[in-house]
Amino acid sequence: MNHRKTTKLRKALFTFVLVMITVMLASSVYGDFAAQDDTYKGLKLFSDVLEEVQKNYVEPVETKKLIEKAIEGMVHSLDPHSDFMPPEAFQNLRDDTKGEFGGLGIVVTKRDGLLTVVSPIEGTPAYKAGIQANDIIIKVEGESTKAMMLWEAVKKMRGKPGTTINITLVRTGLTKPMDISLVRAVIPLDSVRSVTVKPGYGYIWITNFRENTAADVKDALKKLESEKEPLKGLILDLRDDPGGLLNQAVAVADIFLEKGIIVSIKGRNKKDTEVFNAKPNTVHHDYPMVILINGGTASASEIVTGALQDDHRAVVIGTRSFGKGSVQTVRPLRDGYGLKYTVARYYTPSGKSIQAEGIVPDLIVKRELLDETSGDGIDSKMIKEKDLKNHLTGEDETVEKEKTDQKSDEKNKLDKKGESDVEKLLRLREAVYTNSKKAPETLLLDSQVNRAYEILKGYHIFASWKK
């Protein structure tokens, strides 16, 4: 009797499980069919519209171009960083991370549908012409950029070195558009510059993150650390750095970190979720650091900043960063086409997402041009003993007065150019780019660089008191 009951129970349980599996499979299949049905209806609608336009539009249309534009619109509607790229655009993207190309030397983006300058690259035609961050390019060779895709605008501005191109831009503060004629040049893709601002205090400037950025940073550190006076502090300038390759951002952060999380990315799919950890370094860089950021600091440069800030490895000063906390992947498609789309968000070691929020500096410091005659800024305008009539002459006053007069003349020459403080600030780093001997003193006229140096110097003054 017990055996029969057990057999019946097993049969009933088996039947129940079989029914449940059948129900689940049916639901799954029905769901797939429902989803496929929605997709089919959508594609049928697209086909109907395409056929209608082909047959009845006022002028003949090119079917291939219509389909490309439809796909571009679909992908771009997802977010500002996703793009469908025809072969020439896909090739341009590859050129952006390696080699060199003929162009103007500006990083641009589409912001609210407007072709906006993120930053000019030092030493390039755009930089020398005075193009600034946040300038809006409204025309390229007389053609409006409003309806252009980003890649189309970039393609138009690139070309054979030595050829001329005309662009029209608008700028806050100007009452009318500005026409600028530029001669294309070979744009080098070196992304790292360095200089010793004062004995024992180094400065590294990363313009973007390309294939060899981490290796170039290591080379720059080796050079700075080989100076006569040991390196006591480092300024890492990431202002106006629009980002670049994720692996290079991780590698740069890892140079200064010994352990812990650098960044984590979390996506919808498991394959797009990953945690990047720092590894112990064979060469240690134990000196204090200050990182400079601003509204042009984005993506990969924010990853480096967030990692070093959360680890308390560096003090961050400047203004709030751009706030691009998403990760894109690039997939090659058939016939040379490419697809760039967002697959994940990234998080700093503390678990904070900076998407649309940006990184807040530890110290808010606005960028200003310090007084060029003394470096004292506002204080330079205050009356001092040497300004008083019949004051007692200092021992070295005659020599110092000559130097001051000479610098004042140089300042007057700058003023005669009609450059604003903003334009002058843009040019302060040019001395670093060209390896000028004046680079250290020129850089220290930048209020943010100056403050960074003072912080590092102050740290060592306090440290010496403890000994």
Catalytic residue numbers?
A: 299, 310, 324
Distances in whole angstroms, Cα of residue 181 to Cα of each of 165, 176, 359: 6, 16, 37
* Residue 18 to residue 33: CA distance in whole angstroms: 22
Burial class of residue 327 in the structure, from the number of CB atoms within 10 Å of its CB (0-12 exposed, 13-18 middle, 19+ buried): buried
What are 151-157's contacts with CB under 8 Å, separation 24+? 151/83, 151/85, 151/86, 151/88, 151/89, 151/92, 151/93, 152/89, 153/108, 153/115, 154/89, 154/92, 154/108, 155/88, 155/89, 155/92, 157/103, 157/104, 157/106
* Residue 274 to residue 354: CA distance in whole angstroms: 17
* Residue 347 to residue 354: CA distance in whole angstroms: 7
Question: Cα angle at 249 between 123 and 457, to 5 degrees?
Answer: 70
Phi/psi of residue 193, nearest 5 degrees: -130, 150
Tokens encoding 23: 């129900």
* Residue 445 to residue 450: CA distance in whole angstroms: 7
Tokens encoding 147: 């309806």
